[in-house]
Chain A
Amino acid sequence: MKYILKRLLFYIIAFFGALALNFFLPRMMPGNPVQMFLSNLYKSGGVVDEATIAAVEKLFGYDAETPLIISFFHYIGSIFKGDWGVSFTFFPQTVLESTARGVRWTVFLLGTALVLGFIINTLLGILVAWKRGSRLDTTLTVGGQILANIPSVVTAILLCIALAYTDIFPRGYAVTPLFFAENVFQYIGDVAYHAFLPVLAVIITGLGGIMGMRANMINQLGEDYIVMGIAKGVPDRKIMFGYGARNALLPVVTSLAMQIGFLLGGSLIVELVFNYPGLGQIMVMAISRRDYPLMQGILLMTTIVMLTANFIADISIMILDPRTRRQGVNGN
């Protein structure tokens, strides 16, 4: 338990760090959002006077009178009350509502890709480490690394040209528009059909994970207990999965934390190419319309997704590794 509490404390600190970044970043930038908004308003023929300036400042939460640190605490308070401001792109909706709409699909996309990708990378990593030095090994590790080093934009565009524009897979949306499924299975099938290409693109960008699993597995295979197992006559498959892979898995789950951020970035871009209704779409809309409250909301929302994913990874480490559990018992 101590381990989990320690991680939780770190995540809380990290969340406050993100909040601070979110609050101070726009205020540190050369032209602040209020001035930018006002100049855009002026250019498009709006009237700019004292009252408008005051109203815009209030809208953005800027206040020249109160000190920065006090308004920072106000900001934190309002975040926790669920008041993330009003988006001007989707006007009557609040930021929380409009991000919550997109985050469902992003989490679905990222979660599916993460789980499938993790399974694929781990299995391939184990296989490749077992047959290290063979032609299969070179092809898979080098090929995987190369595919992972192609930007997700390019992967998505290429998949789109090859499979979506030949009408094998749909070109956009998460479900067929104006389609009413007769039963749950049909709906699931439709969603899976639409999600196939985006998920595939995200999995491809994450193929670098094969290398990590391979390196850990090779290290484990050199250990004495493996030699002992082979000498005892334990079947190969059992040595592979029961002996080596179980231990090699731990550092991979830990390093997953780094990968999640990378994959999240990738999936936002993939959504854009495939016209998938996730956060990526909303983010680009927010950015092109200079909708600052919405942008900040998206940064917060994605950070929350990352922290949750990391926390799940931590819990699974605790389940996989008896040592962290025992540490907790001793601590109490």
Chain B
Amino acid sequence: MKKIWNSNIMRFFRNSPKTSVGAILVLIILLLTIGANLFTNIDPTHRFVDEYHVVPSGTHILGTTQLGNDVFAQTLYGGRVSILVGIFAGVLTVFLGIVFGITSGYFGGWYDNVITTFINIIMVIPNIVLLLIIAALLNGVSPFLISVIIGLTSWPWNARVLRAQTMSLRNREFVYSAETLGESKLRILFVEIMPNMLSIISSAFVSTLIYAIMASATLEFIGFGDPLSCTWGIMLFNANKSGALTSGAWWELLGPISGIVLFGVGLTLINFSIDEVSNPKLKAQRIMRAYYKVKKLQAKAMKKLSLNNTK
């Protein structure tokens, strides 16, 4: 037990409370949503007849909706879909970002010009509006399709960062030596250059995950998702439509809102620690804190000393 406590990983977590809180939050939510059937035996689509807008109680931990669905069960099962949408969109976005960003940074020339212009154009078109219009043209979309749309429209942000990073790496010696050795382009791109950017890629993945969950909740809140599916966004949509706000049914909003907020907070904290690990400059923060502590103690000691002297 003591061995585990003192191991490197545990020491890392102990030294960085931000990471531990973030990891614990994300783990709890993942556990609750993936193992939803362990924590509740109510079917999220089951409608309890004559139990509409019931206040939270023992049988319905978070009460029921206007239609008589159990909010707690809906939150758990809905979270599963929402998080999956986020993960899928995140993977797609990061993948496209890597492919276009690294290749355009490495090859340069007209290919780079075309990609950069395209990226810049996509970036000045408001993303949410574009998402909404594509969703509207497809006439209502399933959660899976939402993640595809988000993935296809939000990769330019990642591609831009990765392109800049590739351009700074491409004139390093190891790339030249790989070229001289006659390595294939594919190998240079993905085995030589890409591993140097893993921290950027992972932090991009986490932020896209947050963005995708936000965007899908927004799309569904406006009324684009499939109203029969059960996700956090759809729950917000239903609550808003049935007037949960005006009638004071706060419990209907509590489930999805706390799910989104807690998961977002957890991921944000994890993102901070990814930055800290990959960028030693940011670690200086902790050293600075120790410095402030010492300075404060010194000031206290000096004050004491001067007090003693005046006496």
By a beta-carbon cutoff of 8 Å, the part of chain A in contact with chain B is: 10-11, 13-14, 17-18, 21, 25-26, 29-31, 33, 36, 132-134, 137-138, 142, 145-146, 149-154, 157-158, 160-161, 165, 218, 257-258, 261-262, 264-266, 268-269, 272, 283-284, 287-288, 290, 292, 295-296, 298-299, 302-303, 306-307, 310
Contact A29 B137 (CB under 8 A): yes
In whole angstroms, what is the CA distance A158 to B264 when docked? 15
Contact B218 A36 (CB under 8 A): no
By a beta-carbon cutoff of 8 Å, the part of chain B in contact with chain A is: 18, 117, 120-121, 123-130, 132-134, 136-139, 157, 210, 213-215, 217-218, 221-224, 236, 240, 245-246, 250, 253, 257, 260-261, 264-265, 267-269, 271-272, 281, 284-289, 291-292
With A18-B125, A272-B222 already in contact, 17 other A-B pairs whose C-beta atoms are closer than 8 Å: A17-B121, A17-B125, A18-B124, A33-B137, A132-B285, A133-B292, A146-B269, A149-B210, A151-B260, A157-B240, A264-B126, A283-B129, A284-B223, A288-B223, A299-B133, A302-B125, A303-B125
Using Cβ atoms and an 8 Å threshold, which residues of chain A touch B268? 142, 145-146, 149
Contact B121 A264 (CB under 8 A): no
Contact A146 B264 (CB under 8 A): yes
Using Cβ atoms and an 8 Å threshold, which residues of chain A touch B218? 151-153, 265, 269
Q: Main secondary structure on chain A at its contact with chain B?
A: helix
Using Cβ atoms and an 8 Å threshold, which residues of chain B touch A133? 284-289, 291-292
**Residue from A257, A288, A299 in contact with B125 in the complex, judged by beta carbons closer than 8 Å:** A299
Closest A residue to B131 by beta carbon equals A265
In whole angstroms, what is the CA distance A158 to B126 when docked? 25
Closest A residue to B236 by beta carbon equals A153
In whole angstroms, what is the CA distance A150 to B294 when docked? 36
Closest A residue to B288 by beta carbon equals A133
Using Cβ atoms and an 8 Å threshold, which residues of chain A touch B284? 133
In whole angstroms, what is the CA distance A273 to B260 when docked? 17
Residue of A21, A137, A146, A310 ringed by the most chain B CB atoms within 10 A? A146
B10 nearest CB across to chain A (Å): 22
Closest A residue to B258 by beta carbon equals A154
B207 nearest CB across to chain A (Å): 8
Using Cβ atoms and an 8 Å threshold, which residues of chain B touch A10? 120
Using Cβ atoms and an 8 Å threshold, which residues of chain B touch A307? 124
Contact B127 A142 (CB under 8 A): no
Closest A residue to B207 by beta carbon equals A149
B171 nearest CB across to chain A (Å): 22
Query: Do A261 and B267 contact each other (CB < 8 Å), given the known contacts A137-B285, A153-B217, A160-B245?
Result: no
Using Cβ atoms and an 8 Å threshold, which residues of chain B touch A266? 128
Contact B134 A25 (CB under 8 A): yes
Using Cβ atoms and an 8 Å threshold, which residues of chain A touch B136? 287, 290, 295
B142 nearest CB across to chain A (Å): 14
Closest B residue to A279 by beta carbon equals B129
A286 nearest CB across to chain B (Å): 8
Query: Do A262 and B139 contact each other (CB < 8 Å), given the known contacts A149-B267, A153-B221, A154-B260?
Result: no
Contact A268 B138 (CB under 8 A): no
Contact A258 B127 (CB under 8 A): no
Using Cβ atoms and an 8 Å threshold, which residues of chain A touch B127? 261-262, 265
Contact A265 B128 (CB under 8 A): yes
Contact B222 A284 (CB under 8 A): yes
**Residue from A14, A134, A158, A298 in contact with B124 in the complex, judged by beta carbons closer than 8 Å:** A14
A293 nearest CB across to chain B (Å): 12
**Residue from A13, A145, A290, A303 in contact with B126 in the complex, judged by beta carbons closer than 8 Å:** A303
In whole angstroms, what is the CA distance A302 to B269 when docked? 33
A302 nearest CB across to chain B (Å): 5
Using Cβ atoms and an 8 Å threshold, which residues of chain B touch A165? 245-246
Using Cβ atoms and an 8 Å threshold, which residues of chain B touch A137? 285
Closest A residue to B222 by beta carbon equals A284
In whole angstroms, what is the CA distance A288 to B139 when docked? 10
* Those 10 A-B pairs whose CB atoms lie nearest each other, nearest first: A133-B288, A265-B128, A17-B121, A151-B214, A29-B137, A302-B126, A287-B136, A149-B264, A133-B289, A149-B268
Using Cβ atoms and an 8 Å threshold, which residues of chain A touch B120? 10, 14
B163 nearest CB across to chain A (Å): 14
Using Cβ atoms and an 8 Å threshold, which residues of chain B touch A138? 285
A60 nearest CB across to chain B (Å): 12
Using Cβ atoms and an 8 Å threshold, which residues of chain B touch A152? 214, 218
Contact B130 A299 (CB under 8 A): yes
Residue of A18, A149, A165, A292 ringed by the most chain B CB atoms within 10 A? A149
Closest B residue to A151 by beta carbon equals B214
**Residue from A33, A146, A154, A265 in contact with B129 in the complex, judged by beta carbons closer than 8 Å:** A265
B276 nearest CB across to chain A (Å): 12
B225 nearest CB across to chain A (Å): 13
In whole angstroms, what is the CA distance A165 to B138 when docked? 36
Using Cβ atoms and an 8 Å threshold, which residues of chain B touch A132? 285, 288
Contact A13 B117 (CB under 8 A): yes
Closest A residue to B223 by beta carbon equals A288
Closest B residue to A286 by beta carbon equals B136
In whole angstroms, what is the CA distance A36 to B139 when docked? 9
Contact A13 B123 (CB under 8 A): no
Contact A150 B261 (CB under 8 A): yes
In whole angstroms, what is the CA distance A261 to B125 when docked? 7
Using Cβ atoms and an 8 Å threshold, which residues of chain A touch B246? 165
A151 nearest CB across to chain B (Å): 4
Using Cβ atoms and an 8 Å threshold, which residues of chain B touch A284? 222-223
A30 nearest CB across to chain B (Å): 7
A320 nearest CB across to chain B (Å): 21
Using Cβ atoms and an 8 Å threshold, which residues of chain A touch B287? 133
A83 nearest CB across to chain B (Å): 20
Using Cβ atoms and an 8 Å threshold, which residues of chain B touch A134? 288-289, 292
**Residue from A33, A161, A296 in contact with B250 in the complex, judged by beta carbons closer than 8 Å:** A161
In whole angstroms, what is the CA distance A63 to B246 when docked? 48
Contact A142 B269 (CB under 8 A): yes
B237 nearest CB across to chain A (Å): 10
